[in-house]
Amino acid sequence: MNRSYELMFIVRPDMVDEDLNKLISTLESSVTSAGGTTKSEVWGKRRLAYRVGKFNDGIFVLMLIEATGAVVHEVERRLRVTEPVIKFLTVRTDEELKRLDKIKKIRDSKKKASTAPAATAAPVTPATPEAATETPASAPV
């Protein structure tokens, strides 16, 4: 079963772009060969919130993976073995995305419901600015 994950890892700041791209492409290929999909974005060099080893900053890379857990496990193993990678974090996002989707749907349906009466009540707009100015004053701040 495919799930969506967010994998963020930090490589040492002195890593050359070439090597980084190579690393990313190998990780991507290991996912795609196992039937998953990925999208990577390089955040670039950022300061770390605390020292890691002897580094004060690092290059952050974010990978969005859609694959099975075993694939992610394999990618994590690779990251652990790869020396320039100083930190990584995997977060499963499919349930969160599902939840957000649901909320969005509810909001959209509500918006549709609220916009429809507003359109019909459009001719009465001169009255609404007054009402709008009154409400914040009466509302407890």
Q: Tell me which residues touch another protein (CB under 8 A).
A: 8, 10, 47-50, 52, 56, 58, 62, 87-89, 91, 96, 99-100, 103, 107, 140-141
Closest distance to another protein from the beta carbon of 132 (Å): 18
The CA distance from 125 to 27, in Å, is: 58
CB of 81 to another protein, least distance (A): 19
Q: Three-class SS of residue 52?
A: strand
Name the residue nearer to another protein (CB basis): 29 or 111.
111
Shortest approach of another protein to residue 89 CB, angstroms?
A: 4
Query: Which residue, 1 or 141, is less far from another protein as judged by CB?
Result: 141
Nearer to another protein, 36 or 58 (CB): 58
Tokens of 123: 């001719």
Q: Which is nearer to another protein, 22 or 107 (CB)?
A: 107
Residue 103: CB minimum distance to another protein, A? 5
The minimum distance between CB 48 and another protein, in angstroms, equals 4
| Cα 77 to chain centroid, rounded | 22
Residue whose token pair is 């790869």: 82
Name residue 11's beta-bridge partners: 59, 85
Q: Which two tokens stand for residue 117?
A: 């009466």
Nearer Cβ to another protein (49/122): 49
**Which CA distances in Å does 136 have to 4, 115, 122, 129?**
43, 22, 22, 12
Cβ partners under 8 Å of residue 41, min gap 6: 61, 62
